[in-house]
Structure 1
Amino acid sequence: MYYKKYCLLLGLAALVSPVYADILVILPESGTMARASQSIKRGFLSAYTASGSKEKIIFVDSEKNSIDSIFKKKLTAKTRLVVGSLARPEIEKVIELDPKIPVLALNDVNTQSANVWQYSLAKQDDAVALNRLLKKDGVKKLLVLRQTGTESATALFFVALMAEFGSDIEMVNQLPKKLSRKEGALLLGDHQWMEQLGPLPEKNIYATPLSIEQGQFIPLGLSFCDVPALYNGQWADLIEAYKKQPETMAFQRLLAFGGDAWTISQQFLEQTGQVQFSFVGRTGAIELKDRKIYRQPYCYRQQKNSIEILK
């Protein structure tokens, strides 16, 4: 029943919109970001359906409508919340407009605004989570082996990690056969590259989600921090969305992101006054405090027969 309702809702969302919206969702549904936007939208609608909410939603394509035009023509006195946009320049424009109702931006920018809340899958969050794990494991020096050609994919994460971990990071061309007790090794590359490295140390070896692929071998002892919804089955809405259209892990993360965007939206709709909340989300532990939304990914370690969650 839930699955049929979700499919019907997804189809209707593409064809018709209500006369007014309680929630206005701004996404680039065409253009270069359309593929990512589709997964976010599916995750958002799946979580919305599972929640049983009756709030009316309108989706607007930011590739075909300017932010000025959307806010002028689509917002009404009944609009309670805006979700989006995804592109940073558009979020900057929203901040310039100084909206009077809450806006949940789906990316992060340097500028802050009282009514624009920023939620993202920021590499900074991944770096903070991994640095916390490195400290817990007693790693004092980090050796970094990087796959040639993937620098742009890991650049933001690496810069953020350097800021968190400190100066004792060394780039290497190959890993030593054995790490000292206080050394750790970080692999920055994709899964195929990691497989070609051969035997790895079984302790204090780390990677990013770029190295993890669904159904593929993970070296024993490898630790990484990622979106928790990919590693447990507690989110029925995501399972149904995935059944409708199987995704790679990169797009599964966006499904989870869209689902948490709906859960955060619910908090804004249900609370009045000074909004505060925290919950265990699909993308990590989510908390709103000091007028900011924080996300803490979960960290995992491959054991002999399973993936262990690291508390």
Structure 2
Amino acid sequence: MHTNARLAPIPNRLRWLVPGLALLLAAGCATVATAPVAAPDHAAALAQLEQGQAQEAAQRLEALALAAKGTPRNALLADAAFAWHEAGDDTRARSLLAQLDPRRLTGASRARLSLLNAELALAAQQPGQVQAALVGDPASLAAPLQARWHVAAATAHEAAGDAPGAASARARAEAGLQGEARDQNRRAIERLLSTLDNATLAARAAALPAGDPLYNFAARALVRRGLPLPRPFDQGQAWNFDQRPPGASDGYRPPRRLAVLLPLSGQLATAAAPVRDGLLAGYYGENRQRPEVVFYDTAGTPAGAVAAYARAVSEGSDFVVGPLGRDEVTAVYRESALNVPGLALNRASVAPPPGHAMFSLAPEDDGLAAADYLLAREHRQVLVLAGQDENGRRAAEAFASRLAERGGKVAATVTVSEQPANLAAQLAQATAAGADSVFLAVRGPQARALAPQLALAGFAARTRVGTSQLTSGTGKAEEDVVLDGIVFPAEAWSSRGAAGLPQASLAAAALPTARGPAARLFAFGYDAWRISAYLERLATRADGELRGATGDLRLDGFGNVVRQPAWATFSGGVPVPLAR
């Protein structure tokens, strides 16, 4: 169509239609016009509400409503009612609701009214009314209110027995949540997905479209159950590998300049040495093109880690491994500019930023792995025996959280001292509570003292799972024979080997940093190298798994390296691998 073509003149017989057409066009435009922009005073009151001045905003909105008529009055009354709800006065909110006509509301005012009605229904323990209340478009609301909208919908779905619908709604709330509220929401999603059997979970995950906020949660649940993914995790714009050399057929695609941030001095230097040597063993075991590797000393302090990261970036590194300390990782993640991606070697107290991942051997990981092990074997009533040290406490807390998320229950928790006392009464109570298995978050000497008591209480024939700390303080078969049958997470390196590494026994004979308790950190450093070199494969492929020295490794959609450890048990007082 030519844009410069002339319009044909209107025939005389049609001229009488022109006024009517104009009126019809005007009426048509009126029906599709967007909601009017709030008057300045109305907008100012809503700004007060967003700034947390709920009572002041409610009073102002109600006063404006008294002087208004028609549609503006309805919008002001609805927003005033919502503001009173935010101020904690639901009685006043309900009185204003009785004065308005919800049919005359549009846009954000209609959505706020919907959210108010939904939350009032929940407060009245009437979840069945929530779905009918949630009309309008939640996208017209600010992100925190959108999150509340979806959480309300999730509560209604769950009350109706629709776990997948509840999980989906909570996943949509994720973007508007922060801090503990987000953590609680994630735990709720995992709990809901745990109610699905393997076939249902796999089918639901496969049916989710690309970009659906529930997919990464469902995919992570599949990984934890050892099930295949229908497609890779949705990583969005988190990772960019354009600056790396072309990849090999097996997915090997290392960075060009690798910075390694470790506490080479200070209190953590002893732990850093085996990590460093394991990383270098993997590095020199690779015959293909390797990046330049530069080590930076963090001195084991948060300030040192932040300074080391900044220096690594300024000197041209395109990938960063480390730091190692928990406080160090948190300090780096709290920096506003993290332009170079990295792999932290511990868990932070904050979520990893986009383009960053966390890999750890933290006590929490042992707790999570133990819970998954027991749940996979249908053990859902567990007696927890936890040491008083930080490792025991953290492992037990993570275990209990994962168990609850997936529908299990801690039958009893007993805190164990370094010299365990007589626990006959507590063990009898655990038996009465239906405990069908035991989790031991204790060291070897404590477990040796507990094993006979567990046997007397009838737990010797039940599944007993420990943490990797179980081997600490062991080594004499004649003493450790009482630990026979207790299962614990172990390094895959010692049971099946690791590509590019000698046998664990040979490495231990040659290197002090590869023997005894240090061997675990040596394997950890080796896997850190492998993850950095195969990161694209981990991030972009549905089968992106690495058989590492510490276990089978995957990258989930939340910046965490998920590790499936190998499992071992004591037999004749000696640790031996368990068949997969």
Short-chain TM bin: 0.7 to 0.9
Q: 1:136 aligns with which of 364, 370, 376?
A: 376
User: Which has the higher mean CA deviation after the structures are superposed, 40-49 or 52-61?
Assistant: 52-61
Q: 1:162 aligns with which of 397, 400, 403?
A: 400
Secondary structure, counterpart of 2:462 in structure 1: coil
Distance 1:296 1:23 in 2: 26
Does the Cα contact within 8 Å between 1:129 and 1:299 map onto a contact in 2?
no
Distance 2:295 2:547 in 1: 26
Q: 1:62 aligns with which of 294, 298, 301?
A: 298
Q: Are residues 1:288 and 2:555 paired?
A: yes
Per-residue CA deviations over 1:240-280 (Å, capped at 9, x if unaligned) read 54322165543211111100000011124xx4996453211
Secondary structure, counterpart of 1:290 in structure 2: coil
Mapping 1:65-76, distance limit 5 Å: 66-76=304-314
Does the Cα contact within 8 Å between 1:144 and 1:185 map onto a contact in 2?
yes
Q: Are residues 1:34 and 2:272 paired?
A: no
Per-residue CA deviations over 1:76-128 (Å, capped at 9, x if unaligned) read 57422111111233323433143222211111212320122111113333222
Secondary structure, counterpart of 1:160 in structure 2: helix
Secondary structure, counterpart of 1:112 in structure 2: coil
- Give the match for residue 297 of structure 1: 565
Q: Report the count of equivalent residues.
A: 286
Does the Cα contact within 8 Å between 2:320 and 2:343 map onto a contact in 1?
yes
What is the percentage of aligned positions where both structures have the same residue? 22
- Give the match for residue 185 of structure 2: none
Per-residue CA deviations over 1:18-57 (Å, capped at 9, x if unaligned) read xxx8111111111111110111101111111111353211
The unaligned stretches of length 5 or more in structure 1 are 1-20
Does the Cα contact within 8 Å between 1:230 and 1:253 map onto a contact in 2?
no
- Give the match for residue 47 of structure 1: 282
Mapping 1:121-270, distance limit 5 Å: 121-147=361-387, 150-166=388-404, 167-172=409-414, 173-174=423-424, 175=427, 183-197=436-450, 199=452, 200=455, 201-212=460-471, 213-214=474-475, 216=477, 217-218=480-481, 219-234=483-498, 236-237=501-502, 239=504, 241-242=507-508, 243-245=510-512, 249-268=516-535
When residues 238 and 113 of structure 1 are mapped into structure 2, their CA distance, relative to the original with a 3 A threshold, is farther
Which structure shows the bigger proportion of residues in strand conformation?
1
- Give the match for residue 12 of structure 1: none
User: Which has the higher mean CA deviation after the structures are superposed, 51-60 or 280-289?
Assistant: 51-60
Secondary structure, counterpart of 1:260 in structure 2: helix
The unaligned stretches of length 5 or more in structure 2 are 1-255, 415-422
Q: 2:321 aligns with which of 83, 91, 97?
A: 83
